Amino acid sequence: MKTTSPDFSTAEKDFYLKEFREKSLLFALRAKDITAPGDRDAIQAVLRTLVLNETRVIVLMETDASTPERRAIDGLHIQLSHPPLNDIPAPVLLLPESAEDQRCLIILETLRTVPVFIGLWPVHARLPALQNAQQLANRLTVYKLVILDPRGGLTAGGAPLSFLNGSHLEELQTHGARGELPHERHRQLETARLALEGGIASVSLCSPASLAKELFTYEGCGTFFTLTDYCQAERLALDDFPEAERLIQRGEQEGALKKRTPSEISQLLLHGYGARLGKERDLVGLCALLPYADDNAGEIAGLYTLRRFHGEGIGSRLVGKAITEGRERGLTYLFACTNQEGARRLFERFDFHQVKPDAVPAAKWHAYAPERKRAMSVYKRELS
C-alpha cells in the first residue's frame, strides 16, 4: 500500500469528511484576521470542502466595518460564491440588541435553504463576539466549535498544547485568572469550557492558515479541547482495520514503529487493540498482543499513540488492557521490545523488567535483522 506524508493524507481527510458529513460546524473569527489573501484563501478552501461534503457551516465574524475588513468579508463571500456554490447568501448582520432566540432563528431560516450562514458581529457590541459564538453554538448544539486566531493553538513554556481535557482546561483557567495568561487567551479558554459543558463534543483553536491540518489530519495543528479524557481500549473490529492501518503507517513514517510487511501488519490488526478518546472519536492509539503458543506467552507489539495525545495515558490504557487480556488467557508472561525511551519508561511503570533477548521466545527473533535486535531493549513481566 502506498504511504503518504505523516502531515497530511487523502485517507485522513476522507476520514474526517465522513465524520463531519451532515453535521454542523461553527467557526468564530475576526474579520481583521483574514485581510491577508493567504489566510482568507485557506479558510474558504476548507469551507468549500465542507459544504461540498454536505456539512452545514456557520461563520461568525467580528468586524469594525472598516474598509479593509469589509473587503475581507466580501472577498470571502465572493470566493464561496464561485461554482458550484452559487447560492451562498450575503452575510447577515447579527445585531447585539437581538434576543438569542432571534439570532438562532435567523441562522436556522438561512440553513433551511443553503448550507452556509455568514454572520457579522460588531466589534463594540455589548456581548463579546466569542461569548456570542459560544452561546449560539450551545443553543444550536452544533457538532464542533472552531475558534480561529492568528497565534494558533495554546502553548506552555514554549511547547504547544495540542490536547486539553476538562481537568487541564480548569488548571489553565486558574492560571489565566491569576493574570498568567493574556486576557484574550483566557477568554478563549472560558469559551471552550462553556461550549463543552453546554454539550459541544469538541472545540478546536487554530490559526486560519492551519485550519485544514487541524480539521482533516490525525495530528492536527492547534489545540483540541474535550470535556472528558475518558479512554476506552477495545479489541479492533474488522471495520476498524483501515483506520488502524493508517495509524501503523504513520508510526512507521515517524520512526516510532518498525517497517512491517503487509502480512505482519495483518497480524497486528488481527490481534490488535485500539484506544479511543471520548464518544465516537477516531483511534488515537493502538497495540497488539501477539500470541506465542509454544511458550504460553504474549508480546505487546506495535504500541503507538498520536503525538497530540502523548502524556494523556493512552499508552497506559493499552498496556493495561494487554495485561488484563494476558491474565484472562492464562498466559505465563508478557514481553515487549522497544528502542523508544518513552516506551521503556511505560513498561517499567507496569513492572516489566529488562531481560536478555534469549529470555523470550526464540521465535521472536526468527528472520530478525541482527542490527535491529542489538538496538532493542527487551522487557518481560510474569503473569503467574
Q: What is the dihedral of CA 315, 162, 214, 94, to 10 degrees?
A: 130
Predicted pLDDT of residue 85? 73
At the top level of CATH, which class does the domain 231-382 belong to? alpha beta
**What is the fold of 10-225?**
Carbamate kinase (3.40.1160)
Owner of C-alpha cell 460546524: 25
For 47, the enclosing helix (H) or strand (E) is: helix 37-52
Predicted pLDDT of residue 78? 86
Q: Residue ranges of the chain with pLDDT lower than 50?
A: 1-7
pTM of the model: 0.77
Predicted pLDDT of residue 185? 87
Closest CA to 53 of 187, 165, 215: 215
Predicted pLDDT of residue 2? 35
d(CA 214, CA 212): 5
Q: What is the dihedral of CA 306, 311, 314, 319, to 10 degrees?
A: 120
All CATH 3.40.1160.10 domain ranges in the chain, comma separated: 10-225
All CATH 3.40.630.30 domain ranges in the chain, comma separated: 231-382
Contact 304, 287 (CB under 8 A): yes
Predicted pLDDT of residue 283? 86
> Reduced to 3 states, what is the DSSP secondary structure of residue 166?
helix
Q: How many CA atoms lie within 13 A of 239 on its CB side?
A: 2
Predicted pLDDT of residue 4? 38
pLDDT digits (tens, 9 = 90+) for 129-185: 999 999 999 999 999 999 999 999 988 777 788 888 776 777 776 765 555 677 788
Predicted pLDDT of residue 177? 52
pLDDT digits (tens, 9 = 90+) for 163-178: 887 767 777 767 655 5
Closest CA to 206 of 49, 18, 77, 33: 33
Predicted pLDDT of residue 5? 42
Owner of C-alpha cell 454539550: 199
d(CA 250, CA 254): 6
Predicted pLDDT of residue 173? 67
